Structure 1
Amino acid sequence: MPRQVDHAERRRVVAGAVCRLADERGLEGVTLRDVADRAGVSMGAVQRCFGTKEEMLVFTLGLIGERIGERARARLARSPAQSAATAVGHAAVEIALLEEEHRAEARVWLAFVAQAAVSEPLAATLRENYAALQGSFTRLLAEAGTGADAEREAHALLALADGLTAHVLVGHLTAAQARDVLDAHLRQLWTRVSPGTA
């Protein structure tokens, strides 16, 4: 009897191969043939999972976004008694991908962001990811006392976290310097909108 293939798991395996190749070569170095080789499956198996290369990339980007979001949520869940201000800081650090163990993921994320500038399907996936993160930041900032400015401040914080990712990857800032920038921004935010919150 033929072995049953877990289609969802195979898609994740293929996406993992896409990430490893994108980390090594950028997205321009991701071909269906190389993805199949790296995933240890046939070209036909990859094509049965994804109709096109773009569909494969969109799925992979969605998976990366989910993983980052889950990590941020897990960080918040580990310390439920923390203040909203502390929670915002923890979530921002996770999203900025400043930890050494997330450096490969950061390279892949930025490769996708660059490609999204010329790919509407990737851009749409990024907008969904950003909207979810934006919503989380807005709620946390409102709880921390930012009031009517919570949504604007969430936009600024998300943009700062993304920018710090790029600055660390190209060597303009060290991870420690990026954390200092993020901490300083949050301290100014709490002082500006709600003295004594931080």
Structure 2
Amino acid sequence: MNMSKKEDPRAIRTKEMLKQAVIELLQQGIPAEKLSIQKVSQQAGLNRTTFYLHYEDIHDLLQKLTDEIVGEITKQIEELMQVRELSEKSQLIRLLDYLYNQRQHLLVLFQKNDFEEKLYEQMKRLISVRRENSVTQTPRRDIDIDIKTASLVGIMMWWLKRGLHYSSDYIATEIYKMYR
């Protein structure tokens, strides 16, 4: 699509309906590999022809949905990295609050392996940048970054799946204590 052209609001609305239908079906327990164009179209109240106007197949729709959410998380992370007046803990609380608000979509997408991998890569980039910008420069060791990233993504996934009774402030405090 040519970026200079504005997308038709009806097309945007239709794509949102199809994405929401996928999320609803996945939340009902239907595995991603069992989704069909017919099921998604029916859930969205649209026909198959309309589906094909916007997506090649179910995989294309799932990939675009994953990319969109990872893009939003990336945008949040980049914005947080620019806010210098916030403490690291405050930045982490903001990120956790964002994840909490997006939890329904995230829990569905955690079922897809590539989503977790993309989230891991974004968090790794965040940790690497934070380390490069820190006052006390430590020798860069990739294993340190990988360990921190894996534990951070693991904690965030656990929190969203089973630990929501803990506040974002509490989780941020615990993470912050681990990495001091």
Using the size of structure 1 for normalisation, the TM-score is 0.65
Residues 68-147 of structure 1 mapped to structure 2, 5 A cutoff: 68-75=73-80, 79-83=83-87, 85-86=88-89, 89-90=92-93, 93=96, 97=99, 99=100, 101-112=101-112, 116=113, 123=114, 127-144=117-134, 145=136, 147=138
Q: CA deviation at 1:65?
A: 1.0
3-state SS of 2:86 partner: coil
**Distance verdict in 2 for CA 1:86–1:165, change over 3 Å:** closer
Q: Structure 2 CA distance, aligned partners of 1:22 and 1:168?
A: 20
Tell me the residue number matched to 1:14: 18
Point out the structure with the larger helix share.
1
Q: Structure 1 CA distance, aligned partners of 2:85 and 2:168?
A: 26
3-state SS of 1:55 partner: helix
1:134–1:154 CA contact under 8 A, matched in 2: yes
Q: CA deviation digits over 1:51-101, x for unaligned, max 9?
A: 221111111111121122233444556x54124x33663466357x3x3x3
Worse-matched range after superposition: 67-76 or 11-20: 67-76
Q: Structure 1 CA distance, aligned partners of 2:48 and 2:103?
A: 29
Q: CA deviation at 1:127?
A: 4.1
Q: Match for 1:51: what amino acid?
A: E
Tell me the residue number matched to 2:64: 59
Q: Structure 1 CA distance, aligned partners of 2:138 and 2:57?
A: 45
Gap runs ≥5 in structure 1: 117-122, 191-198
Q: Structure 2 CA distance, aligned partners of 1:58 and 1:15?
A: 11
Q: CA deviation at 1:31?
A: 2.8
2:89–2:172 CA contact under 8 A, matched in 1: no
Q: 2:27 pairs with 23, 30, 40, which one? A: 23
3-state SS of 1:176 partner: coil
Alignment root-mean-square deviation, CA: 3.4
Residues paired across the two proteins, number: 171
1:11–1:49 CA contact under 8 A, matched in 2: yes
Gap runs ≥5 in structure 2: 1-7
Aligned: 1:156 with 2:147: yes
**Distance verdict in 2 for CA 1:90–1:180, change over 3 Å:** closer
**Distance verdict in 2 for CA 1:150–1:107, change over 3 Å:** same
